[in-house]
Structure 1
Amino acid sequence: MRALVLCLMLFASPALAVQPDEMLSDPVLEARARDISRDLRCPVCQGEAIDDSNAPISRDLRLLVRERLVAGDSDAEVVDYIVARYGEFVLFKPRASGTGLILWLAGPAMLLIGGGLAYAMTRRRARPEAELTEAEKARLAELMKE
Structure 2
Amino acid sequence: MSRAPMTRAGAERLRGELDRLKSVDRPKVIAAIAEARAHGDLKENAEYHAAREQQSFIEGRIAELEAALSTAEVIDITRLGAGNRVVFGATVDLEDEDSGEAVTYQIVGDLEADIKKRLIAVSSPIARALIGKSAGDSFEFTAPNGVKHYEIVDVRYE
Q: Normalised by the size of structure 2, how large is the TM-score?
A: 0.21
Which structure dedicates a bigger proportion of its chain to strand?
A: 2
Which structure dedicates a bigger proportion of its chain to helix?
A: 1
For the pair shown, which has the larger CA radius of gyration, 1 or 2?
Answer: 1
Q: Normalised by the size of structure 1, how large is the TM-score?
A: 0.22
